């Protein structure tokens, strides 16, 4: 039986191998933590996008049910919040702040629309009484306040 010329080399190999395995385990755990954090962040963004789309559809439903009573009576450049009335099964506007799932705040505002002499939308010109720019916004807390918005023009196409 032949002895190794350097004593303790086996112990050093075990320590080095254990260190490499431990470092690899820490790196894998950090990567997993980052992936989970990003997936929750993306979930909030997806939910916000769906709430934006639902908000736009809710205002469209208000327009379709009664432009005169539900859109024309609202003040321009004022934040309104959407409320679903379970009795009448319709959306309505309110100035009372409300949270969705305890996380999101969805609001909308209306702006006046002006048209030039060629009937194109412009920054000045003649006020179009049958059109409003609708901006729907959703905000939530995620390392500070995050807000996403979409805008569109609604017209009184049903003359109601």
pLDDT tens profile 12-65: 888 899 999 999 999 999 998 888 877 777 888 999 999 999 999 999 999 999
Q: Distance between CA atoms of 74 and 149, rounded to whole angstroms?
A: 19
Span between the terminal Cα atoms of the chain, in Å: 103
CA nearest to 137, candidates 128, 146, 127, 129: 146
With CA atoms as reference, report the closest residue to 75 among 107, 105, 111: 111
What integer is the mean pLDDT of 55-76?
A: 95
User: What pLDDT shows up at residue 14?
Assistant: 87
Q: How confident is the model at residue 78 (pLDDT cuts 50, 70, 90)?
A: very high
Which sequence spans correspond to the domains of the chain?
9-155
Q: CA angle, 67 as apex, 126 and 86 as ends, to 5°?
A: 150
Q: Give the residues across from 90 on adjacent strands.
A: 85
- The helix or strand, by DSSP H or E, that contains position 113, with its residue range, turns out to be strand 104-115
pTM above 0.75, yes or no: no
Q: How many whole angstroms separate alpha carbon 155 and alpha carbon 95?
A: 23
How far apart (Å, rounded) are the C-alpha atoms in residues 149 and 136?
6
């Amino acid at each position: 039986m032949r002895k190794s010329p350097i004593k303790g080399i086996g112990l050093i190999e075990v320590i080095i191998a254990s260190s490499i395995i431990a470092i690899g385990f820490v790196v894998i755990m950090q990567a997993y933590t980052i992936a989970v954090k990003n997936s929750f962040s993306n979930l909030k963004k997806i939910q916000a996008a769906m709430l934006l789309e639902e908000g736009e559809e809710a205002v469209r439903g208000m327009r379709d049910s009664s432009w005169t009573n539900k859109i024309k009576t609202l003040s321009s450049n004022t934040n309104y919040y959407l409320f679903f009335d379970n009795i009448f099964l319709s959306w309505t506007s309110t100035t009372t702040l409300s949270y969705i799932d305890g996380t999101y705040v969805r609001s909308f505002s209306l702006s006046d629309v002006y048209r030039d002499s060629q009937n194109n939308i412009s920054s000045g010109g003649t006020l179009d009484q049958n059109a409003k720019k609708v901006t729907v916004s959703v905000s939530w807390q995620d390392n500070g306040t995050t807000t996403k918005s979409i805008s569109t023009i609604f017209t009184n196409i049903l003359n109601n």
